[in-house]
């Protein structure tokens, strides 16, 4: 398996070009030894194993994980944002995630392109495990331990 040197997407094997950004993978010398299933690595990180998070699944930084432990998490193109998404399709102050107990809510902060939750344009929404959030050209999946 090869990690794209340009966008970070992990190629499942055999491709000469990245499936996400079309970067040349044929000359890449990057390699890694898989550490196992992602569920195993999440549970092995004892500090944040049960913490809700947003994981980038499309756009620059694929695989990057943002743990949502603060009462307020800002998302935007401003380098001071908690979740910094450096792309022209993202507003400087695009959205905010607020945490109240075990409830997390995302809200648009007047962005030009809006936010989408599971393909629906929203001004705000309560997040549920598995929700797909679109911010500009970034796609993030909300992961959280489900109540049993």
Is 9 a residue whose pLDDT tops 60?
A: yes
What are the distances in angstroms from CA 58 to CA 8, 19, 26, 50, 134? Answer: 10, 11, 22, 23, 9
Q: What is the CA radius of gyration of the chain?
A: 16
- Residues of the chain with pLDDT > 90, as a percent, come to 59
Query: What's the pLDDT band for 12 if we cut at 50, 70, 90?
Result: low
pTM across the whole model: 0.67
Q: Average pLDDT, stretch 42-67?
A: 79
Query: What's the pLDDT band for 145 if we cut at 50, 70, 90?
Result: confident
Is 2 a residue whose pLDDT tops 80?
A: no
Q: Average pLDDT, stretch 125-132?
A: 96
Residue 64 · residue 56 · CB < 8 Å? yes
- Residues of the chain with pLDDT > 70, as a percent, come to 65
Give the model confidence (pLDDT) of 77-114 as tens digits: 999 999 999 999 999 999 999 999 889 999 999 999 99
Is 33 a residue whose pLDDT tops 60?
A: no
Produce one character per residue of 66-87: b if its CB has 16 or more CB atoms within 10 Å, e if not.
bebeeeebbbbbeeebebebee
Per the prediction, the chain carries an average pLDDT of: 80
Please choose, from the candidates 65, 62, 68, the residue with its C-alpha nearest in 3D space to the C-alpha of residue 137.
62
Is 147 a residue whose pLDDT tops 70?
A: no
At CB < 8 A and 24+ separation, what contacts does 122-128 make?
Answer: 127/52, 127/97
Q: Is the dihedral of CA 88, 93, 94, 96 positive or negative?
A: positive
Q: Identify the three-state secondary structure at position 19.
A: coil
- Where are any strands of DSSP class E within the chain? 2-3, 10-11, 53-58, 65-67, 72-76, 83-84, 95-100, 103-108, 115-117, 120-122, 124-126, 132-135, 138-143
Q: Average pLDDT, stretch 40-67?
A: 76
């Amino acid at each position: 398996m090869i990690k794209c040197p340009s966008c970070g997407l992990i190629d499942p094997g055999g491709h000469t070009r990245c499936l996400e950004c079309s970067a040349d993978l044929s000359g890449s010398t990057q390699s890694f030894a898989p550490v196992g299933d992602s569920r195993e690595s999440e549970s092995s990180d004892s500090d944040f194993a049960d913490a809700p998070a947003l994981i980038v699944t499309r756009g620059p930084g694929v695989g990057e994980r943002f743990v949502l432990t603060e009462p307020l998490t800002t998302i935007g193109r401003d380098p001071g944002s908690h979740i910094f998404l450096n792309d022209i399709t993202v507003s400087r102050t695009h959205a905010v995630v607020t945490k109240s107990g075990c409830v997390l809510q995302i809200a648009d902060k007047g962005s030009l392109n809006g936010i989408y939750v599971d393909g629906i344009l929203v001004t705000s929404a309560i997040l549920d495990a598995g929700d797909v959030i679109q911010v500009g050209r970034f796609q993030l999946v909300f992961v959280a331990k489900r109540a049993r």
